Structure 1
Amino acid sequence: MNEQQAGSVSGTLNALQQVADAAGAALVSTMFPALATDTGDTDAAPLSLTVIAVRLALAAAITPLLPRHAAADAH
């Protein structure tokens, strides 16, 4: 990535983060009412929180795969 691409890359990253946040919120807000209908409110809350915890654990598990340092400057 060069300096001319920095703005585009930043905007793309921001947009992808917002899409991921919206998808997560949609998953939980869809899952909870479905579970509440099937199992009742007392079982739906712990199940929803478990799904959130599993997603958080998966995100934490793959975090070490990210690069630790920026790529060397190509200039």
Structure 2
Amino acid sequence: MIVIPWKPPEPGAVPTLGYGVIDWISEMLAAPDRGDYEPFLLYPEQEDFVLRYYEINPGTGKRRFRRGVISRPRGWG
């Protein structure tokens, strides 16, 4: 068993790789349907989904979720 030396900065916080994923999205992806380049920025709800999806189990060091879906009406985000 792998134990991650991680202490939550606040109660209820969990380790996640999501912050790196959000940074990568905003640095590497372009917003669709724009004349000039604009970075793709996630809505707060999308960021929350990414943070939760890339959670790490501190006891095993593995990602907590293997599959996920976020479903909203057409035109959202």
- TM-score, structure 1 normalization: 0.31
Q: Which has the higher contact order (CA 8 A, sep 6+)?
A: 2
The structure with the largest helix share of the pair is 1
